[in-house]
Structure 1
Amino acid sequence: MTFLEATRTSYDAIAADYASRFPDAMGGVALDRAVVGAFAELARTHSPAPVADLGSGPGHVTALLHDLGLPVFGVDLSPRMVALARRAHPGLRFHEGSMTGLDLPDATLGGIAALYSVIHVPDEHLPATFAEFHRVLRPGAPVLLSFQTTEAEDHLHISERFGHEIALDYYWRTPEQVEQLLIEAGLAPYARVRREADGGEKYARAFLLARRPR
């Protein structure tokens, strides 16, 4: 089973539990919302070019970006996640697909948000994934990544969540590692934010904001 198949099957299994467990896109953390707000301001300058929320899950972040004034749509590997998102947000568009190969023309997106979704992409596939981001972004358009981070690269395999048997791999990386891969894909770093774990979180969080050069 490929990592895409394993990720799709795992999130299909936990979709309903995940959506009810995490009903707030930003978990109520003000700093996280501020970073997303900054991304939205940058992306808004490229309107009406659409923004893609990659790894959109039950649609919470897509809805938040819509509320911030962006013409946004969601993309997720899991058909059940897409179905939940469409039911919860009937006025928004959600599609099944993979960030590793987007069914979009070159230079058409006004922004990409990939919040806590590159954590399931193995190291050897990240360069091609970021090259795909570069391909579909308009010149000057931003990309926002967020991910759990540790002091050193780490890999975690989860075989059970919410009482469901799954096969889901997580890849923890440092902001510096991910930023270097963005640079190698032709994307220009713009801002880096790291915060410590908050509330019941186990890991610190990193946000990287980059842009396709004009």
Structure 2
Amino acid sequence: MTDDTRHDTGHGIRHDTGFLDTTRTFYDAIAEDYADRFRATGAGTPLDRALMGAFAELVGPEGQVADLGCGPGRVTAHLASLGLRVFGLDLSASMVAIARRENPDLRFEQGSMLELDLPDGALAGAVSWYSSIHTPWERLPDLFGELRRVLAPGGHLLLAFQVGDEPHHFDHPFGHPVALDFERRRPEPMAELLEKAGFTVLSRTVRVQEEDTSTKVPQACLIARR
């Protein structure tokens, strides 16, 4: 039996890709419950939507935008409402099915943002809205390198994630027998990795923790330009 959890990068280096299978299995199991749970939140808080609005203005309506790790498509739909030519991509076939069902006028595909089926410079914008939280730290340079590859010169990236130093373990969500770690990271080292990958970080924002809302930990958002 072959080991299909190792991926050859083409440079003699093999990386563990088992986390992709774990993530896919997790979201396939909880997709319908997840979509129901977060349907009322739409595209997030007013501050979230403001950042998306700024990103949309930077990108403009002409170029193609990819919402990578789109889940049930709520952020994809909001970006489309802002005038962007956007499509969604997700590892989970179940999430893609929900996104297509709830947003029939938009395009959704299944795939990994670590290996995008796009030519170099194909995108004017890319969004990773809490989807990099499942990528191990040592694979983030690969992820950011792939995002840089598919962005045209001057293209923009919107990257959101939870702030912290330790992962959060989510076990048996909605009663399903699956578990997954969600990585929490600091904006400064994330910005440094983006710079090393060839991006210029234009904006760093942190939404503070609010115990009486759904924001239980600080939330970071970076906007960067290739």
How does the TM-score come out when normalised to structure 1?
Answer: 0.94
CA displacement 1:149-202 (0-9 Å, x = unmatched): 02xx21233231111111312111000011111011111100011011241322
1:153-192 residue pairs with structure 2 within 5 A? 153-192=165-204
Which of 203, 207, 211 is matched with 1:195 structurally? 207
Could you tell me how far apart the structure 2 residues matched to 1:103 and 1:154 are? 32
The structure showing larger relative contact order (alpha-carbon pairs under 8 Å, at least 6 residues apart) is 1
Could you tell me how far apart the structure 2 residues matched to 1:57 and 1:138 are? 25
Could you tell me how far apart the structure 2 residues matched to 1:139 and 1:77 are? 27
Residue 175 of structure 2 aligns with an amino acid whose one-letter code is: G
Aligned to 1:101: 115
1:83-122 residue pairs with structure 2 within 5 A? 83-122=97-136
Could you tell me how far apart the structure 1 residues matched to 2:129 and 2:92 are? 16
> Displacement, 1:86?
0.2
Aligned to 2:65: 51
Query: Helix, strand or coil: the match of 1:64?
Result: helix
Aligned to 1:70: 84
Could you tell me how far apart the structure 2 residues matched to 1:131 and 1:33 are? 26
Query: Helix, strand or coil: the match of 1:105?
Result: coil
Aligned to 2:46: 30
Which segments of 5 or more consecutive residues in structure 1 lack a partner in the other structure? none
Aligned-pair identity in percent equals 52
Structure 1 position 40 matched with structure 2 position 56: yes
Structure 1 position 136 matched with structure 2 position 150: yes
Aligned to 1:80: 94
Deviates more, 1:153-162 or 1:7-16: 153-162
Aligned to 1:147: 161
Residue 132 of structure 1 aligns with an amino acid whose one-letter code is: E
> Displacement, 1:89?
0.3
CA displacement 1:121-160 (0-9 Å, x = unmatched): 110111000000000001111100011102xx21233231
Structure 1 position 16 matched with structure 2 position 23: no
> Displacement, 1:109?
0.1
C-alpha contact 2:65 2:85 (8 A) present in aligned 1: yes
Which segments of 5 or more consecutive residues in structure 2 lack a partner in the other structure? 6-17
- Count of matched residue pairs: 207
